[in-house]
A and B are shown apart, each in its own frame.
Chain A
Amino acid sequence: DAGVIQSPRHEVTEMGQEVTLRCKPISGHDYLFWYRQTMMRGLELLIYFNNNVPIDDSGMPEDRFSAKMPNASFSTLKIQPSEPRDSAVYFCASSLDYNEQFFGPGTRLTVL
């Protein structure tokens, strides 16, 4: 079975540009999570969805960040405009019952 799929794996962009990260969760999983990982702060939950509905977005750093889940098999995390401090690895994870979360390979974002 395919795991969580994320694209792109690497993204390098310039400050001020819009960045869109994509995620395809494991089929049948009702929960989808977006995390950010940095050396300083570790793994931080940004937002999660249940049945395509955003449940908790309290971890989204600011209005420049937005996430959507238009259907059960696709989600996006958008940063507009991007800033150098957004540089991090962004993970998408999915789970059947919000307990055992399965992570994708991540997108390494570098904002110059």
Chain B
Amino acid sequence: GQQLNQSPQSMFIQEGEDVSMNCTSSSIFNTWLWYKQEPGEGPVLLIALYKAGELTSNGRLTAQFGITRKDSFLNISASIPSDVGIYFCAGQLRGSQGNLIFGKGTKLSVKP
């Protein structure tokens, strides 16, 4: 089946540092979404991207839809302890409806 390669798998950073993670695929996507999941909860939508090259911010979070439509990245600036969680990318393939394909997640740990 289709796969999204999300990296890194985990990150251990110091509070205040910037964070960058990305998702890549060999397939073309119409939509990229970024979610955050905290323990015992469902994924929460952070940012949605719909156009190649689109750059969207949500507070300290910035995500971009890659020009090739095969990748996306998420940056978190000036990390704080509450940023801890697992971040998932999700993409919707060109020509499909409803089926989101999820990456395996990036587990972020922030040391105060």
User: A residues engaging B (CB < 8 A)?
Assistant: 4, 31, 33, 42-43, 45, 48, 50, 55-56, 91, 93, 98-106
Residues of chain A within 8 A of B100, CB atoms compared: 33, 45, 101
A to B contact number (C-beta, < 8 Å)? 50
Q: Is B78 an interface residue (CB 8 A)?
A: no
Contacts A43-B88, A105-B42, A106-B41; A100 near B102 (Cβ below 8 A): no
Identify which of A42, A98, A101, A105 contacts B97 (C-beta below 8 A): A98
A-B contact pairs, 20 of them (CB 8 A): A4-B42, A31-B98, A33-B100, A42-B103, A42-B105, A43-B43, A45-B100, A50-B98, A55-B98, A56-B98, A56-B99, A91-B43, A98-B92, A98-B98, A99-B48, A100-B33, A101-B90, A101-B100, A103-B43, A104-B42
Identify which of B42, B48, B50, B92 contacts A103 (C-beta below 8 A): B42
Q: Is B5 an interface residue (CB 8 A)?
A: no
Residue pair A106, B42 in contact (C-beta under 8 Å): yes
Residues of chain A within 8 A of B99, CB atoms compared: 45, 48, 56
Residue pair A42, B102 in contact (C-beta under 8 Å): yes
Report B28-81 residues with CB < 8 Å from chain A CB: 31, 33, 35, 40-45, 48, 50
Identify which of B92, B102, B105 contacts A99 (C-beta below 8 A): B92
Residues of chain A within 8 A of B45, CB atoms compared: 100-102
1/0 contact string of B81-100 vs chain A (CB within 8 Å): 00000001010100001111
Complexed CA–CA distance, A106 and B102 (Å) = 17
Residue pair A42, B104 in contact (C-beta under 8 Å): yes
19 new A-B contacts, CB < 8 A, other than A42-B102, A99-B50, A101-B100, are A4-B42, A31-B98, A50-B98, A56-B98, A93-B42, A98-B98, A99-B31, A99-B48, A99-B92, A100-B45, A101-B33, A101-B90, A103-B42, A103-B44, A105-B40, A105-B41, A106-B40, A106-B41, A106-B42
The CB with the most chain A CB atoms within 10 A, among B50, B92, B97, is that of B97
